[in-house]
Amino acid sequence: MIATARFRTFADVLDRLGVSPERVRFDADKPGRATAKDLVAIRVKEKVHCELVDGFLVEKPMGAAKSFLALTISGYIFIYLQSNDLGFLLGESGPLRLTKRLVLMPDVSFVSWEQVPDKTIPNDPVPELYPDLAVEVISPSNTRKEIKRKLKEYFKAGTSLVWVVYPKRREVVAYTAPDEDETLAVGDSLDGGTVLPGFKLELKNLFAKLGKKKK
């Protein structure tokens, strides 16, 4: 029985993934049976970044503002880590295997050394780790259902903190559980909580270089 038997129609697949059809790879030879190896192969061959969800490869949205905000956040965290050696950072092309059939690629990932006792970066292109802190910067093609799914997946895997960044609204929603969140605006600051104790990032500094806020 092939993997797609658990889905009756392609509409069921889209409902599970929570994304639009154009972001779902549907290669004829293995629909619903993709693996982490396929994810790496597509990145090498086609320069396309994908996540793996339940046997399907989902293309990751890209964008200038998205990349800028992710790099800015990681820059502030990197500076913090120079004085607080708690773990390491991965960027928007750094996949993490949360389970055998689930590989996510946050725009920024912080992984604590508690998961890597020898304090070295794994050589595996898709290491079996989860982000202690995950940052997702929202693009137009991201849906509310997709983010809701990802929140459940992150916290089930062991994640303690997720920041969902909304560039157009100039807001960040900080989650400590899928149903526990705080919305922060330009006058507020991101707090690292127990993951990055003492870390602060004023949102006015994060959003300062973006173009004019769209109404």
Domain range summary for the chain, segments of one domain joined by +: 3-59, 64-207
Residue 83 has pLDDT above 60, yes or no: yes
Residue 137 backbone dihedrals phi, psi, to 5 degrees: -95, 120
Residue 188: how many other CB atoms lie within 10 Å? 16
Q: What's the CATH number of domain 64-207, 3.10.450.50, 3.90.1570.10, 3.40.50.2300, 1.10.287.70? A: 3.90.1570.10
Nearest residue to 178 (alpha-carbon basis) of 157, 193, 196: 157
Nearest residue to 87 (alpha-carbon basis) of 58, 119, 43: 119
Give the lowest-confidence range in 8-17, 23-32, 192-201: 23-32
Q: Supply the pTM of this predicted model.
A: 0.93
For residue range 152-196, what is the model confidence (pLDDT) as tens digits? 999 999 999 999 999 999 999 999 999 999 999 999 999 999 999
